[in-house]
């Protein structure tokens, strides 16, 4: 909205945002109004309260909703189809049995977390989680069923740390560009940060909270326990299907890295074609088509049965997609109101050491407006002049980049579309999601920052 300037300061805007969050929690938890409706209502009221021009209110809401759906709807929809085929074919169960046989019951959750870390390296958080959940849920059911958080949070946290700390995910890549950090060093330091952060804030937290909040493993994508066929696929077949998007997306990022150093010509048609194939939506589309053949058609399923399965899957995830989009709408309204700019201007004068400023600014922006990527990119843009003028070494630059990344994941709550995605996929109400996922994200942020600080001062 180039023709409108926000006149409210950071204080009033923060007060409005806090009141909006409180209203969402009240309407969802106490009134029991559906989250989709609540998010639309509160987004509308917040837009009006923050002074967004009346003729721009609906446009702002629709843009926030549409931009979120544009990035997640395809990934969730295609990922759900792949996940449902893995589940309905019996593939999730055979993989679960194999994993338990190899790693044992006590180490099954840990093994699933490590698997999710590997899959989460190139695959975005939401798509990776949707694809992996059938395996996670199958193992959890085999271990008794009342252990959703042990397996679900362990896996989700693994995808989260990879998305937050490691290139080629957009947040750390963008921050690296702003700060002039070497992407390879950011990747290496990011791995050192991500793995122990996942173990402490993901796996150990999941073990802790699972004992205090035991939850049954829900049905996923409309699946039922009696859906399992008599001719499940081989474990190797299922693993190859799950690895296919990993390979395709790696092809995209690998060619991008080679093009950046001049090894290949980025304008060559073959490079453009393979890069297109390796983009997340196209890679998942190809994987979904392969899964329809390998896990469906080649096992004797008819075309009409597969059509009904896909139709039923999309129907069950429609609510997840719409609520996720509405969560993005609320966050979009907060961003359009100028709260991020107002906060950034206020925080810029605090005079903290750069690495602490990177973390604190990202935390405040994350909690205020919801989007981790926006918090990270805004922080990087704000601090880029100070970082450039600071004469930092390569490891220091990587640490500052990752400090901002750690801050950007702090305490996911109702203004974050990811909060609604995790809560709905795991069939948790808002209160439970706050107690489990929001706390996990806060722990992930703090622990990650502590490790980054240790690296910063050691080198």
pLDDT tens-digit readout, 193-220: 999 999 999 999 999 999 999 999 988 7
- Evaluate if residue 226 carries a pLDDT over 60: no
Q: Of 312, 295, 311, whose CA–CA distance to 89 is shortest? A: 295
Question: What distance in Å separates the CA atoms of residue 294 and residue 298, rounded to the nearest whole number?
Answer: 5
Q: Count Cβ atoms below 10 Å from residue 256 Cβ, excluding itself.
A: 17
54 band by pLDDT with thresholds 50, 70 and 90: very high
In the Cβ-directed half-sphere of 145, how many Cα atoms lie within 13 Å?
A: 4
Q: Give me the pLDDT at residue 33, please.
A: 92
Q: Give me the pLDDT at residue 111, please.
A: 92
- Residue ranges per structural domain of the chain: 10-458
Q: Are 441 and 160 in contact (CB under 8 A)?
A: yes
Hey, what are 274's tokens? 């393979």
* φ/ψ (deg, to 5) at 264: -125, 160
Greatest mean pLDDT range, 26-40, 107-121, 148-162, 307-321: 148-162
Residues 120-142 have a mean pLDDT of: 87
The rounded percent of the chain whose pLDDT value lies above 70 is 96
Question: What distance in Å separates the CA atoms of residue 110 and residue 156, rounded to the nearest whole number?
Answer: 12
Q: Are 320 and 84 in contact (CB under 8 A)?
A: no
- Evaluate if residue 223 carries a pLDDT over 80: no
163 band by pLDDT with thresholds 50, 70 and 90: very high
Q: Give me the pLDDT at residue 303, please.
A: 80
Q: Give me the pLDDT at residue 431, please.
A: 94
- Evaluate if residue 374 carries a pLDDT over 90: no
Question: What distance in Å separates the CA atoms of residue 435 and residue 458, rounded to the nearest whole number?
Answer: 35
Question: What distance in Å separates the CA atoms of residue 378 and residue 314, rounded to the nearest whole number?
Answer: 35
Residues 6+ apart with CB under 8 A from 440: 153, 156, 157, 201, 202, 205, 206, 209
Q: What is the pTM of this model?
A: 0.86
Greatest mean pLDDT range, 135-144, 291-300, 414-423, 437-446: 437-446
- Evaluate if residue 227 carries a pLDDT over 60: no
List pLDDT tens digits, range 173-186.
888 988 999 988 99
Q: Give me the pLDDT at residue 224, please.
A: 58
DSSP 216: P
Q: Are 243 and 135 in contact (CB under 8 A)?
A: no
Q: Any idea of the CA torsion for 176, 180, 181, 183, to the nearest 10 degrees?
A: 60
Q: Of 76, 89, 8, 87, whose CA–CA distance to 47 is shortest? A: 8
- Evaluate if residue 438 carries a pLDDT over 90: yes
Hey, what are 209's tokens? 């909270």
């Amino acid at each position: 909205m180039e023709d409108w300037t926000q006149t409210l300061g950071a204080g009033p805007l923060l007060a409005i945002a806090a009141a909006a969050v409180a209203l969402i929690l009240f309407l969802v938890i106490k009134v029991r109004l559906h989250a989709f409706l609540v998010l639309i209502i509160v987004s509308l009221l917040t837009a009006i309260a923050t002074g967004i021009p009346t003729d721009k209110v609906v446009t702002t809401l629709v843009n926030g909703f549409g931009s979120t759906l544009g990035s997640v709807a395809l990934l969730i929809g295609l990922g759900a189809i792949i996940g449902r085929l893995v589940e309905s074919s019996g593939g999730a169960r055979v993989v679960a049995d194999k994993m338990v046989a190899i790693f044992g019951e006590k180490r099954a959750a840990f093994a699933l977390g490590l698997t999710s870390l590997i899959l989460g390296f190139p695959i975005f958080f939401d798509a990776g989680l949707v694809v992996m959940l059938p395996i996670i849920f199958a193992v959890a059911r085999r271990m008794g069923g009342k252990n959703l958080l042990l397996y679900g949070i362990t896996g989700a946290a693994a995808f989260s740390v990879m998305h937050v700390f490691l290139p080629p995910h957009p947040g750390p890549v963008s921050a690296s560009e702003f700060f002039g950090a070497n992407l390879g060093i950011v990747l290496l330091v990011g791995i050192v940060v991500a793995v122990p952060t996942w173990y402490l804030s993901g796996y150990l937290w999941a073990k802790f909270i699972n004992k205090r909040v035991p939850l049954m493993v829900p049905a996923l994508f409309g699946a039922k326990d009696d859906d399992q066929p008599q001719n499940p696929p081989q474990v190797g077949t299922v693993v190859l299907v799950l690895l296919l998007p990993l390979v395709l997306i790696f092809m995209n990022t690998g060619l991008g890295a080679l093009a950046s150093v001049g090894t290949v010509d980025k304008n060559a048609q073959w490079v453009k074609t393979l890069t297109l194939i390796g983009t997340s939506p196209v890679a998942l589309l190809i994987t979904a088509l392969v899964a329809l053949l390998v896990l469906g058609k080649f096992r004797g399923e008819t075309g009409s049965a597969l059509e009904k399965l896909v139709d039923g899957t999309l129907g069950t995830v429609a609510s997840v997609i719409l609520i996720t989009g509405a969560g993005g709408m609320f966050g979009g309204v907060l961003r359009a109101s100028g709260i991020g700019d107002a906060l950034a201007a206020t925080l810029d004068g605090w005079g903290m050491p750069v690495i602490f400023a990177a973390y604190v600014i990202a935390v405040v922006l994350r909690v205020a407006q919801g989007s981790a990527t926006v918090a990270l990119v805004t922080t990087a843009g704000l601090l880029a002049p100070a970082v450039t003028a600071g004469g930092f070494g390569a490891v220091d630059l990587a640490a500052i980049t990752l400090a901002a990344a750690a801050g950007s994941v702090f305490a996911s709550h109702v203004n974050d579309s990811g909060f609604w995605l995790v809560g709905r996929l795991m069939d948790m109400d808002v209160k439970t999601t706050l107690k489990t996922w929001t706390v996990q994200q806060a722990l992930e942020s703090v622990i990650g920052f502590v490790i980054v600080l240790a690296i910063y001062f050691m080198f």
